Chain A
Amino acid sequence: MEEKILDMLEELCGDSIVREDTDINLLEEDLIDSLDYTELLVSIEEEFGIVMSPSEFTRDQMDTPAKIIAQVKARMN
Chain B
Amino acid sequence: MTLFGDFYFFIWAALLLIPAVILGLAEKPIKYYGALVTAVFIYMAMSSSPQAIVNLVIYCLYQLILVNAYIVVNRRKPRNGLLYWLFIVLSILPLGVWKVSAFVTGHGIFAFLGLSYLTFKSVQVIIEIYDGLIEEIKPFDFLYFLTFFPCLSSGPIDRSRRFSGDLNGRLSRAEYIDLLGNGLFKIVLGMVYKFALAAGFYQAITWLGSGSHMINQVIYMYSYGLYLFFDFAGYSLMAVGTSYILGIKSPDNFNKPFIATDMKDFWDRWHMSLSYWFRDFIFSRFMMKAIKGKWFKNKLTGASIGFIINMGVMGVWHGLDIYYIIYGLYHGVLLAITEIYQKKSKFHKKHKKERWYKFISWGITFNLAMFGFFIFSGRFTQLLGLNG
Contact = CB atoms under 8 A, between A and B. Distances in A.
Given A54-B280, A55-B128, A55-B281, A38 B287 contact: yes
Contacts of B279: 34, 54
A38 B288 contact: yes
A39 B290 CA distance: 10
A42 B133 contact: no
B55 interface: no
A54 to B, nearest CB: 4
Nearest to B124: A55
B289 to A, nearest CB: 9
Interface in A31-77: 33-35, 37-39, 41-42, 45-46, 51, 53-56, 58
A55 B131 contact: yes
Nearest to B280: A55
A27 to B, nearest CB: 10
Nearest to B287: A38
A51 B303 CA distance: 21
Please report whether the interface of chain A is mostly helix, strand, loop or mixed according to DSSP: helix
B285 interface: yes
A41 B303 CA distance: 15
Contacts of B292: 42, 45-46
A35 B303 contact: yes
A55 B287 contact: no
B281 A33 contact: no
A21 to B, nearest CB: 19
Contact of A37 (B284, B285, B303): B284
A35 B286 CA distance: 11
Nearest to A43: B291
A9 B132 CA distance: 26
Contacts of B124: 55
B291 A55 contact: no
B264 interface: yes
Contact of B284 (A34, A45, A46, A51): A34
B318 interface: no
A71 to B, nearest CB: 13
A34 B288 contact: no
A14 to B, nearest CB: 10
Interface string B195-227: 000000000000000000000000000000000
Given A54-B284, A55-B281, A42 B291 contact: yes
Interface of A: 33-35, 37-39, 41-42, 45-46, 51, 53-56, 58
Given A53-B128, A54-B280, A58-B162, 14 more contacts: A33-B264, A34-B279, A35-B303, A38-B284, A38-B291, A42-B291, A45-B292, A46-B292, A51-B131, A53-B132, A54-B281, A54-B285, A55-B128, A55-B133
7 contacts: A34-B284, A37-B284, A42-B291, A51-B131, A53-B131, A54-B284, A54-B285
